[in-house]
Chain A
Amino acid sequence: NAGVTQTPKFQVLKTGQSMTLQCAQDMNHNSMYWYRQDPGMGLRLIYYSASEGTTDKGEVPNGYNVSRLNKREFSLRLESAAPSQTSVYFCASSEMGPNTGELFFGEGSRLTVL
């Protein structure tokens, strides 16, 4: 079982370039999430999708867009990358809301914006 798979694992962008981070889960979970992790700070929620067909903003949504393509896949797009978006991005999924269970995380996508 692969769990949560993120691609790419590493990416370097120039300021102003765009890119999409891909995430897929094979656990038939309803809910999916995108977090970013910066040194000395906790994981911060960017966007989440409670169920297929819905998306909502998290704590730090500015500069990002998301698409819940189907139940398995949830992508994160940076339309015009900025150095402040240099971070490690984690996708996660959960069976229902996180009230009742744990978050399953991918291995992360390390993004550098020059």
Chain B
Amino acid sequence: SQKIEQNSEALNIQEGKTATLTCNYTNYSPAYLQWYRQDPGRGPVFLLLIRENEKEKRKERLKVTFDTTLKQSLFHITASQPADSATYLCALGFTGGFKTIFGAGTRLFVKA
């Protein structure tokens, strides 16, 4: 069956450390993968998009990797801050389609 999985358990880290979130999928062949941030009671906000032919992408303190052989994406936040505390969603996208598939998200808590 087709699945997209993110750690259901919350991730707790200390301020200043690097947070690493994982997104795994099975029986999908996405053309690209996106990461979104969602704060409680708010809509998701786009962070990064990485395409299947890209291994890594960076934006400020964020880094995303995409391994189509392992069917996995890693999302890193370096020098994390309490303001980074939120739920992070990964999403798979497909060529020519509009049906983006979302994971359930991982809750990140950054302690001061």
Q: Do A and B come from one complex?
A: yes
Hey, which bits of chain A sit against chain B, CB under 8 A? 4, 31, 33, 35, 40-45, 48, 50, 56, 58-59, 90, 92, 97-99, 101-108
CB of A99 within 8 A of CB of B34, answer no
CB of A106 within 8 A of CB of B95, answer no
The segment out of B53-61, B63-71, B72-80, B98-106 that lies at the interface is B98-106
- Contact sample, A vs B, 27 pairs, CB 8 Å cutoff: A35-B102, A40-B8, A42-B91, A42-B102, A42-B103, A42-B104, A43-B44, A43-B91, A44-B102, A45-B100, A90-B43, A98-B34, A98-B100, A99-B31, A99-B93, A99-B96, A102-B49, A103-B34, A103-B36, A103-B44, A103-B46, A103-B100, A105-B44, A107-B41, A108-B41, A108-B42, A108-B43
Which chain B residue shows the least CB distance to A97?
A: B98
List residues of chain A with CB within 8 A of the CB of B101: 42
**Chain B interface residue bracket vs A:** 20 to 34
Hey, which bits of chain B sit against chain A, CB under 8 A? 4, 8, 31-32, 34, 36, 41-46, 49, 89, 91, 93-105
